[in-house]
C-alpha cells in the first residue's frame, strides 16, 4: 500500500470536528490545539524547538521544565519565550509533583512564570494535584494529570483536574500496564 502523509489526514480532521469523539473535542478545546496530537513532556527529549514545532503544526507541545533548564540550559522564562518566538500557537507545561521543599519552591516559581508568559495548560504527574488545580483555576489554566490506574484516576478527579492523561500499555518508554481498552472501560 502506498504510504500516506499524515498532514493531509490531520488537516481533514481539523476541518471535520464532527468526526471526533466528545473527549477529543474537549481535549482540543482545553489545549487550544487544532489537531489531536500531543507531544508529551519527556525528560530528556523535550527541547524547545520540538515543543514549538508540534504546536506550530496544529498539535500540542508540552514543555518538560527540568529538561528545558537543566539539560538544555535555558533560563525557564527565556525558554518559554524562545518557543513563543517560533510559534504563536498554544503549548503546555508539565509539572512533576515531588515532595522535596527546594524543588517545590522551584516548581511554584515556574508555575508563576508560565502563567505570566500566557501558558493555559498544565500537565501534572505523580503526587496530588489539588493545590496546582487551585492555583490554575485562579489563572484560567486547565490541568490534566497523568494516571495509570483507575484508583489514581478517581483520586485526582476528586482533586478537580479537568482531564486525565491515561498511561497505558502501549505508551512510549514507560510502565503503563493496562491496555487502552481496559483503562478506558474501567474509567467510564
Ligand atoms: C523518554 C520519555 C520520557 C518521559 N518523561 C516524562 C516526564 O518527564 N514527565 C511526564 O509527565 N511524562 C513523561 N513521559 C510520558 C510522556 O509524556 C507521555 O505521557 C507518554 O509517553 C504517553 O504518550 P505516548 O503514548 O505518545 O508515548 C515520558 C515518556 C518518555 C517516552
Query: Which parts of the chain fold into alpha helices (H)?
Result: 6-15, 22-31, 48-56, 65-66, 76-86, 101-116, 130-138, 150-158, 180-187
With CA atoms as reference, report the closest residue to 71 among 98, 114, 97, 41: 41
pLDDT for the residue 3: 44
174 lines ligand 1 (CB under 6 A): yes
Residue entry with cell 492555583: 135
pLDDT for the residue 173: 66
pLDDT for the residue 186: 81
Set of cell numbers at residue 92: 503546555
pLDDT tens-place values along the chain, 188 residues long: 444 445 555 555 555 677 888 989 999 999 999 999 999 999 888 899 999 999 999 999 999 999 999 999 999 999 999 999 999 999 999 999 999 999 999 999 999 999 999 999 999 999 999 999 999 999 999 999 999 888 999 999 999 999 999 888 877 766 677 888 888 778 77
Q: Using one digit for the tens of pLDDT, what is the confidence trace for 90-142?
A: 999 999 999 999 999 999 999 999 999 999 999 999 999 999 999 999 999 99
Residue of the nearest CA to atom 11 in ligand 1?
125
Domains, the chain, ranges and CATH?
A: 20-187 (3.20.20.70)
What does R_g of the chain's alpha carbons equal in angstroms?
Answer: 17
pLDDT for the residue 12: 59
Mutate to test the pocket of ligand 1, among 169, 173, 178, 179 (most ligand atoms within 8 A of CB): 173
Provide the 3-class DSSP secondary structure of residue 89: coil
pLDDT for the residue 87: 98
* Rounded alpha-carbon distances, angstroms, from residue 181 to 30, 43, 56, 177, 188: 23, 27, 31, 12, 11
- Pairing of the two strands 92-96 and 60-63: parallel
pLDDT for the residue 89: 98
For residue 96, report the distance from its CA to the centre of ligand 1, in Å: 11
With CA atoms as reference, report the closest residue to 27 among 160, 141, 142, 134: 142
Amino acid at each position: 500500500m502506498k504510504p500516506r502523509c499524515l498532514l493531509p489526514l490531520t488537516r481533514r480532521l481539523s476541518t471535520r470536528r464532527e468526526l471526533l469523539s466528545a473527549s477529543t473535542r474537549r481535549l482540543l478545546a482545553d489545549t487550544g490545539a487544532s489537531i489531536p496530537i500531543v507531544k508529551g513532556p519527556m525528560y530528556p527529549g523535550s527541547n524547545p524547538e520540538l515543543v514549538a514545532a508540534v504546536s506550530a503544526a496544529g498539535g500540542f507541545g508540552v514543555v518538560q521544565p527540568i529538561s528545558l533548564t537543566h539539560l538544555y540550559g535555558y533560563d525557564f522564562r527565556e525558554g518559554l519565550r524562545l518557543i513563543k518566538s517560533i510559534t504563536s500557537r498554544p503549548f503546555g507545561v508539565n509539572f512533576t509533583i515531588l515532595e522535596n521543599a527546594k524543588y517545590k519552591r522551584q516548581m511554584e516559581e515556574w508555575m508563576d512564570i508560565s502563567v505570566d508568559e500566557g501558558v493555559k495548560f498544565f500537565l501534572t504527574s505523580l503526587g496530588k494535584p489539588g493545590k496546582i488545580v487551585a492555583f490554575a483555576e485562579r489563572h484560567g489554566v486547565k490541568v490534566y494529570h497523568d494516571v495509570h490506574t483507575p484508583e489514581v484516576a478517581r483520586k485526582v478527579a476528586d482533586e478537580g483536574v479537568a482531564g486525565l492523561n491515561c498511561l497505558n500499555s502501549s505508551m512510549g518508554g514507560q510502565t503503563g500496564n493496562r491496555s487502552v481498552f481496559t483503562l478506558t472501560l474501567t474509567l467510564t
